[in-house]
Amino acid sequence: MDNKTRLKARELLLRSRIYRFSGLVFACLGVFIFVFLYLSHIEGHFWSSLRRPDLVAMIFLPFVPAAILSMMAARAEKKFMRLFHQDTSSSAGKKKQ
């Protein structure tokens, strides 16, 4: 693995881990916000509150950043795996020759 490819792979792996960790932090914050909104607006009337679209949007909105960061982490991991497999297959071909 040459130095440029190694740095690119390291950057992709680090980026995916940062995105994954940030996504988990946002998911935990989303749970706390959900609990706060549930206790302040719904108060046990869950099924009747589902008829109000503004409340449904308010409940799902805290989880949007976590979902986006999770998708970004998955995309970075795929790029890393593609780069890693491409490099290992090319280095295996060089060893055979």
pLDDT at residue 65 greater than cutoff 70 = yes
pLDDT at 3: 83
pTM of the complete model: 0.72
Domain ranges of the chain: 29-75
Which distant-in-sequence residues (6+ apart) come within 8 Å of 23 by Cβ?
Answer: 65, 66, 67, 69, 70, 73
**What H or E segment, with its residue span, contains residue 97?**
none
pLDDT digits (tens, 9 = 90+) for 1-53: 678 888 888 898 899 999 999 999 999 998 898 888 778 877 777 777 778 88
pLDDT at 1: 64
